[in-house]
Amino acid sequence: MNVIFEKKTDPFTFFINRALTPIPHLHNEIEIIYVKDGEASAYADSTVCNLKNGDTFIAFPNQIHYYKTHISGIFYVYIISSDFVFGLKNQFTNYVPQKNNFTCDSQIQEMFQKIVDNFNQNFNTVSVGYINIILGILIPMLDLKPNLSSDNSTLRSILQYCSEHFTEDISLGQVADELHLNKYYISHLINRKLELGFNDYINLLRVKTACALLLESDKKIADISEEVGYGTIRSLNRSFKQIMKLTPLEYRNQSKILK
């Protein structure tokens, strides 16, 4: 499982997708999916939920989650910092849901729609207000249990550090020293949770960033190689082809044709 730690810069984001991301990821924020139309499976840690029209899914901070879209449609995606949720931060910090989904009644569906309608108007007050009401109704339905394991929180710290330093000459020993953890524990945790080695995860972050630069800029591949943390083009090419099954040049040229 290739899991990406996403470092969000905005405390509240909203977007509409025709399909949901199949890439396993986690972040410090709450993620809510409202299915206005379509069908998907949603995965949170070891649980799976089937979603259809009118259903909602919520992933708590630190939960690894991803989706498989079965029928494309209209999916509302809300990503919210727990700091914006009045009186409920303790629940999101110290508990996890035993179920991550529920079926919306007409009142909640209407509030989800009002967030969309007001998104470009008085976003901060109106949208945050509706999210607080929705979560106040939702939390009792999720059958919360104490989060007794520290592994997810530790994994988040490890992945966050990696996401901030992967362009440097990073090593497992460096991460262990900075986070005051045993490097063998870090290696075991990443292998168990992500099914990846430490170096494989660093390469995944570098190649993912290289893909974005190849698509969004005209930078030379040699410059991109250095920017994402590889000392040589040869190193970038080797990792890129292993993960993407293409060289960086082939990826850029193919993307231009698709556009």
Q: How confident is the prediction for the chain on average, in pLDDT? A: 87
pLDDT at 26: 83
CA distance 28 to 50: 24
CA distance 72 to 62: 27
Mean pLDDT of 244-258: 83
Is residue 2 within 8 Å of 196, Cβ to Cβ?
Answer: yes
76 beta partners:
16, 34
Residue 244 amino acid letter: M
Q: What are phi and psi of 150, to 5 degrees?
A: -95, 0
Mean pLDDT of 44-57: 91
Identify the weakest region by mean pLDDT among 15-29, 39-53, 54-68, 111-125: 111-125
Indicate the pTM of the whole model.
Answer: 0.70
Question: What confidence tier does 121 reach under pLDDT thresholds 50, 70, 90?
Answer: low
pLDDT at 64: 84
Identify the weakest region by mean pLDDT among 25-29, 35-39, 219-223: 25-29
Q: Position of tokens 């930078």?
A: 219
CA distance 259 to 257: 5
Find how far residue 51's CA is from the centre of its chain.
19
Mean pLDDT of 230-250: 91
Which of 24-28, 42-46, 133-137 is predicted most confidently? Answer: 133-137
pLDDT tens-digit readout, 197-217: 999 999 988 998 998 899 889
pLDDT at 57: 96
Q: Does the pLDDT value for residue 1 go beyond 70?
A: no
User: Tokens representing 152?
Assistant: 């997810």
